[in-house]
Amino acid sequence: MRVLTEIITRLTHNLESASLFPTMPTVTFRPESNTCPRCAAKMKVLKTNTKPVATLPIGDFIAREVQYSCPCCGLIVGSEELKQLVPVRCNIGYDVLSYVGQAFFLDSIDNEHIVESLREKHVTISRSEVSYLAKKFIVYLSLLHKKIQKETRAFLSMNGGYILHLDGTCDGDSPHLISVLDGITEIVLDNTKVSTENADDLIPFLAGIKAAYGEPVAVVSDMGKGIALAVKEVFKHVPTFICHYHFLKAVGKNLFGEENDTIRKRLKNHGIQGILRKRVRALGNTISFSPPQQIKTFLRLFETEEVMIPSSSEGLPHLIIHTLLLWMLEGKNQGQGCGFPFDQPYLSFYQRLVSAYTLLGMFGKVGLCKTAKEKKLYTTIRRDLKPVIRDSALKSTAARMQEKVAVFSRLRSAMRITLPENKRGLNDNGELCNMKTIKKAVTKFSLRLSRDTNLMKDKAYQRLIDKIDEYWDMLFCDPMVIETSAGEILIQPQRTNNLLEQFFRAFMRTYRKKNGFQAVTRVLKAMLEDTPLVMNLRNKDFMDILLAGRQNIGERFADIDAEIVRAQLNKSTRNDYPVSIKLKKIVNAPTFLESLTSLINRKVS
């Protein structure tokens, strides 16, 4: 980089580019030689082009490129140095592109803050340009990933092969984003987007992975039928295992999903959550005027576990009932963050309502509420709860679900995964335990359950036993002996697809944080299928392969043909039939047909 050497040297001596250049500087780039590389004739100056360019060392500047032409063979040569700084027909340098991509995907920085941080480096771009550059970053990364497939395959072979972990995510009517990684090195190998997880769509995808990396040592996936058929078709003789987390999730939903839906719907019909929130808001206004000493006394009752007697609880009923209301509402937030069926928020909410109703009944007996206003407060809330408590269908369903949750918890304990007492939530890869020990514990669980004649009258328990039997050979795997150039090694396939699950969750949280909405359907529709490749940027082994001796990823991007990138971007943004949001609203309206008929009649008349 001979032209910029002096400038960069000055910048490294704590001098900012703004102080160096009061106006935007112009830097001239020439071909490295005036001798034609094709015929060795002496070349002449053809023309000079200028364009604005932005790089991190000096910020925005004008690049003046001198081009040579060979009078003998007609070859036109430009500056290779400039091509290493910025793509052809582009203004943003590779280093800026790399900076934006890593800030966007790895650091989860929003567009506005990326713009501000670049402005401090005297690089001027807009918020919309950040989104475009982030997408462009993925295209470059994807092309570079394919460019090094042979090197990656050689690296995987050194480890005895790879264990293919296959998983996907979707939201609403979005396409399914499918990703595959190696369970040994944790390198993301490939990605695709399909409309559904059916075998016909997945077979070509898996065949491409097989062609690029060879057959895996084993396959770990969820229980999707389409995935199972595709894996069986492409990897006929490869051992296939079921992700323990996905297995438990599926059998749990099957075991008490119906009861959970019933409880949710009946609680919604009663509208109890909205009623309690209304009471909390009303009491909150009252409590805000409570004397500080009264609040201290209330807190001391809990800290010292003093028995509340009328003399010590005078003036505190509002605080106590307000806290009880908050405790009831928090029932829906209980659990380890694993989601249903590992957490049962509606059952927990209902159980707290029942407990609170009983506790409120004690208030009158112990004389906690003295004044008429205080008595009216607790009787009103108890009256709010009464329809829920007297709902016999809700009561029996909750009892039945509680029994099934206890059975499900025994299975979780046997499989040593996502246990209720751990603090890892969805990041739980399963307690480190010998697979034979887990297999023995699940065997004991199945025998105990199948011998319980009362429970086995319920078909849900019969289905649970059937599922365990059906997937038995796919659930338990002893360490596998693999031949490598260094000799035999033992490989134990991971029991879960949590590596991908964790990535998908973190990725979606990033977009929710950026966009401020929960549903990510639009994001998944617009997202480039190779976006999960950003996971590899945190993998040291993969980065050693990717960089191939270069200092940073920006330098490696210069090895990719900019025209191929441009074609890929055009392909990804093409929409065969764009439909506006307003038009979609018209089509989805219940009166669409009548409105269209009326419009036609008016036109005819």
Task: Name residues whose C-beta falls within 8 Å of residue 369's C-beta, 6 or more positions apart in sequence.
Answer: 317, 363, 375, 377, 378
Tell me if 596 is assigned to some domain.
no
Cβ atoms of 491 and 485 closer than 8 Å? no
Helix (H, G, I), strand (E, B) or coil at 141: helix
Evaluated on CA atoms 245, 246, 251, 257, the torsion sign reads positive
Which residue reads 């990717």 in tokens? 546
CA-CA distance, 455 to 410, in Å (whole number)? 14
Q: Do 83 and 169 lie in a common domain? A: no
Tell me if 507 is assigned to some domain.
yes
Q: Do 366 and 400 lie in a common domain? A: yes
The contacts found for 179-183 with CB under 8 angstroms, 24 or more apart, are: 179/500, 179/503, 179/504, 179/532, 180/209, 181/499, 181/500, 181/535, 182/156, 183/220, 183/493, 183/494, 183/499
Tell me if 50 is assigned to some domain.
yes
Output the pLDDT for position 544.
Answer: 96
Q: Do 115 and 81 lie in a common domain? A: yes
CA-CA distance, 245 to 440, in Å (whole number)? 18
Q: How far is CA 337 from the centre of its chain?
A: 14
Tell me if 338 is assigned to some domain.
yes
Select from 547, 571, 589 the last residue of a domain: 547
Tell me which DSSP letter residue 548 carries.
T
What's the burial of 216, exposed, middle or buried (CB within 10 Å: 0-12/13-18/19+)?
Answer: buried
Q: How far is CA 36 from the centre of its chain?
A: 52
Q: Is the peptide bond before 341 cis (omega within 30 degrees of 0)?
A: yes
- Which residue, among 14, 43, 20, 18, has the nearest Cα to 31 in the 3D structure? 43
Task: Name residues whose C-beta falls within 8 Å of residue 161's C-beta, 6 or more positions apart in sequence.
Answer: 184, 214, 215, 216, 217, 482, 491
Flag residues of the chain having pLDDT under 50: 6, 8-19, 307-313, 421, 423-432, 575-580
- CA dist 326 to 292, 322, 529, Å? 20, 6, 43
- Work out the angle at residue 145's Cα, subtended by the Cα atoms of residues 144 and 151, and round it to the nearest 5 degrees: 105
Q: Write the pLDDT tens digit of every residue in 502-517.
A: 666 666 666 666 665 5
Q: Do 25 and 120 lie in a common domain? A: yes
Strand 188-194 and strand 176-182: pairing? Answer: antiparallel
Domain extent, residue 172, equals 149-239+481-547
- Which residue, among 143, 177, 126, 205, has the nearest Cα to 571 in the 3D structure? 143
Tell me if 144 is assigned to some domain.
no
CA dihedral 547, 549, 554, 556 (to 10 degrees): -70
- Work out the angle at residue 577's Cα, subtended by the Cα atoms of residues 574 and 582, and round it to the nearest 5 degrees: 115
Q: Write the pLDDT tens digit of every residue in 67-84.
A: 999 999 999 999 999 999
Q: Do 216 and 231 lie in a common domain? A: yes
Output the pLDDT for position 573.
Answer: 62
Q: Do 459 and 417 lie in a common domain? A: yes
The type of residue at 208 is G
Strand partners, 193: 177
Select from 531, 547, 563 the last residue of a domain: 547
- CA dist 174 to 54, 325, 521, Å? 36, 38, 5
From edge to edge, which strands make up the β-sheet containing 240-242?
Answer: 188-194, 176-182, 163-169, 218-221, 240-242
Output the pLDDT for position 365.
Answer: 72
CA-CA distance, 1 to 297, in Å (whole number)? 72
Q: Do 371 and 280 lie in a common domain? A: yes
Cβ atoms of 151 and 556 closer than 8 Å? no
Tell me if 590 is assigned to some domain.
no
Helix locations, 304-344, DSSP H:
317-329
Output the pLDDT for position 290.
Answer: 56
The type of residue at 461 is Y
Tell me if 599 is assigned to some domain.
no
Cβ atoms of 438 and 417 closer than 8 Å? no
Q: Do 221 and 317 lie in a common domain? A: no
Strand partners, 98: none
Q: Encode 298-309: b = buried (16+ Cβ within 10 Å), e = exposed.
A: beebeeeeeeee
Q: Do 226 and 257 lie in a common domain? A: no
Q: Do 313 and 169 lie in a common domain? A: no
Cβ atoms of 123 and 511 closer than 8 Å? no
What's the burial of 388, exposed, middle or buried (CB within 10 Å: 0-12/13-18/19+)?
Answer: buried
**In CATH, what number is assigned to the domain containing residue 186?**
3.30.420
Evaluated on CA atoms 116, 121, 125, 128, the torsion sign reads negative
Q: How many domains does the chain have?
A: 3
Q: Do 496 and 428 lie in a common domain? A: no
Output the pLDDT for position 130.
Answer: 93
Output the pLDDT for position 24.
Answer: 83
Tell me if 587 is assigned to some domain.
no
Q: Do 393 and 277 lie in a common domain? A: yes
Select from 547, 564, 593 the last residue of a domain: 547
Output the pLDDT for position 90.
Answer: 93
Strand partners, 164: 182, 219
